[in-house]
Amino acid sequence: MRNRISFIIALIAATLLLGCGSGESADNSLGTAEPVSAPVAIPVIKVESVPQEEPASSLIQEPEVTQESEEEAAEEPDQKYPPGYSEDVEFDPSWEYADYTVINSGSAKLYRASDNRNDVIIGVNAGHGTKGGESKKTYCHPDKTPKVTGGTTQAGAVKAPAVSGGMRFADGTTEAAVTLRMAELLRDELLADGFDVLLVRDEADEQFDNIARTVICNNVADCMISLHWDGDGLTYDKGCFYVSVPDPIKDMEPVATYWQQHDRLGQALIDGLAQSGYKINGNGHMAIDLTQMSYSTVPSVDIELGNAASPHDDATLAGMASAMVPGIREVFGLGGR
């Protein structure tokens, strides 16, 4: 940005000089008035985005153009993040619903795109993978009302395991291992497409319960996509679907405000998977009362990418990751690429 400022300043200076010399410039109506000094132009030019981490003060303290600041500008690194850039994100106990969490000592990782940046942060949650998560419980709903559908925890329960263990694929691989691999592949696809990615879980054991994961996405990301494979006990691949919000909790906040955005994101992902030829289960969604959506204040979806009988090799996972990106672009109004 500062290079551009210097360029524009130089351009203004050159214009003024030329104008005075030739006598043809319209600005010459100023006659012999003192030429406008270059720094005056700065406040107009400096309104441009900068990396989000940059302290606000550095935006405001645009000094007069001196030799020193020119040198600083030359030393300033490019605005883009270097490839592979990431930063740790810790849980903030002051966040809304933070009090409902019981496991929150983990550390999420925020990856920044280096090129084609669109300044949208996608929260990607690799389902399961929290040691001790099944022995602790959290409230299913922020208003502490009981669950309205079955699932890992039956309807009528007020509390559910903080993080369930997940299922095991037919070949013995754990769901938690596959969701983590899928999260990494989806991250790579999204980064290449210009999205920033918040990996809520980036290791085998992440000490965040389901509410903590949701709260982190609420506060750091622009949406939340949780990756799962269904533990339905079937021996055939039943295909992908997203978990929609059951009708009885659609008037409970924050569900009431966000459920349509959850559905829109879920449908966009399913549409992309269908268009790329992946098997879709039924109409592509199933209403289940999940903790995640009960606490989400950003577009949020749990996508089930198949079940224990589904292929889960890297090529399949990478293909599904790629298939979901166009829908995410559409949800954020970014158009096709």
# binding residues, Zn ion (CB under 5 A) = 3
Whose Cβ is closer to Zn ion: residue 178's or residue 216's?
178
**Least separation, in Å, of the C-beta of 211 and Zn ion?**
16
CA-CA distance, 207 to 133, in Å (whole number)?
8
Q: What CA–CA distance (Å, rounded) separates 300 from 303?
A: 10
CB 245 → Zn ion: shortest distance, Å? 17
Nearer to Zn ion, 91 or 169 (CB): 169
The reply on whether position 127 binds Zn ion by CB under 5 A is: yes
Give long-range contacts, CB 8 A cutoff, 24+ apart: 233-238. 233/308, 234/307, 234/308, 234/309, 235/170, 235/308, 235/309, 236/309, 237/279, 237/306, 237/307, 237/309, 237/310, 237/311, 238/279, 238/281, 238/306, 238/307, 238/309
Residue 166 Cβ vs Zn ion, minimum distance, rounded to whole Å: 5
Query: Which range in 82-90, 109-117, 127-135, 251-259 contacts Zn ion by CB under 5 A?
Result: 127-135
User: Which amino acid belongs to residue 200?
Assistant: V
Which lies closer to Zn ion via its Cβ, residue 228 or residue 262?
228
What is d(CA 132, CA 267) in angstroms, rounded to the nearest whole number?
A: 33
Stretch that binds Zn ion, among 103-111, 120-128, 148-156, 262-270 (CB under 5 A): 120-128
Nearer residue to Zn ion within complex by CB, 172 or 333: 172
Closest CB to Zn ion among residues 127, 327: 127
Residue number with the smallest Cβ distance to Zn ion? 228
Q: Could you say which residues in the range 287-316 bind Zn ion, by CB under 5 A? A: none
Q: CA angle 225-226-227, nearest 5°?
A: 115
What does the per-residue mask of binding to Zn ion show for 198-237, with x meaning CB under 5 A? ------------------------------x---------
- DSSP per residue over 174-225, as a string? BHHHHHHHHHHHHHHHHHHTT-EEEES--SSS--B-HHHHHHHHHHH-SEEE
- In this structure, are residues 175 and 137 in contact, taking their beta carbons and an 8 Å threshold? no
Q: How far is the CB of 168 from Zn ion (least distance, A)?
A: 11
CB of 198 to Zn ion, least distance (A): 19
CA distances from 76 to 11, 83, 133 (A): 21, 17, 45
* Closest to Zn ion by CB, 110 or 185: 185
Q: 180 vs 249, which CB is nearer to Zn ion?
A: 180
CA-derived radius of gyration, the chain: 25
Contacts to Zn ion from residues 129-168, by CB under 5 A: 166
Least distance CB 174 / Zn ion (angstroms): 10
Chain residues 166-195 in contact with Zn ion, contact rule CB under 5 A:
166
Q: Note the residues at the interface with Zn ion (CB under 5 A).
A: 127, 166, 228
